[in-house]
Amino acid sequence: MRAVVTALLATLAAVCLAAFPATAATYELGSPAIAQVTLPDAWSPTVTERGVEATSADDEIYVAVRPAAIENAEDAVKQTLAYLVGQGVRIDVSTQRQQAAQINGMDAVSLAYSGKDEDDENIEISVSVFIISPSAAVILTYWGSKEGEQTYAAELRGILQSLTRK
């Protein structure tokens, strides 16, 4: 899993040419809050019963962030993948890449896949678990086109860098 997280970070850093947008809002995750993340206002973030999600204006990138109990983290990842499938995402499990890394002082484990969206376009999918404490985690889900990854590299990098424990 470390290789996946490192590869995701390397990809984001390699294509990042601009700074994180100035118009963004920070969202607290959990009650009580265990972490926070900043999402671009232009992506119309929506607070849900599980966390917060946002989609770029051109629908090229989708991001969701939610808290989870450590003992339920595996189930939360399975639910996340099932949600993506329910949204028309076809995950090519043969492309699974797994990596562990430390990001923003937190241990993280990531699963990444290639796949297709509902329009049969090629996409990249990532579901990462950030260990917040011995009992709490945050699940960061992302899917988007390769073009979207390039276009929104700065925003994606900013989102990842903004995810911190409270």
| Residue 164 domain-assigned (yes or no) | no
Q: For the chain, how many structural domains are there in total?
A: 1
Instruction: Tell me what pLDDT residue 22 has.
Output: 55
CATH, residue 105: 3.40.1000
| Residue 155 domain-assigned (yes or no) | no
Name which of 11-15, 23-27, 157-161 the model is least confident about.
Answer: 11-15
Q: How far is Cα 17 from Cα 30, in angstroms, rounded to an integer?
A: 32
Q: How far is Cα 3 from Cα 149, in angstroms, rounded to an integer?
A: 18
Whether the per-residue pLDDT at 135 is higher than 60: the answer is yes
| Residue 121 domain-assigned (yes or no) | yes
Average pLDDT for the chain = 89
Residue 148 CA to chain centroid, in angstroms? 14
| Residue 108 domain-assigned (yes or no) | yes
| Residue 146 domain-assigned (yes or no) | no
Q: Which domain holds residue 52?
A: 2-11+24-141
| Residue 163 domain-assigned (yes or no) | no
pTM, whole model, 2 decimals? 0.84
Model pLDDT for residues 81-98, shown as the tens digit of each residue = 999 999 999 999 999 999
Closest by CA position to 42, among listed 64, 19, 59, 65: 59
Closest by CA position to 64, among listed 158, 149, 143, 145: 143
Whether the per-residue pLDDT at 11 is higher than 70: the answer is no
| Residue 165 domain-assigned (yes or no) | no
| Residue 107 domain-assigned (yes or no) | yes
Whether the per-residue pLDDT at 119 is higher than 60: the answer is yes
Question: Average pLDDT in the 51-68 region?
Answer: 96
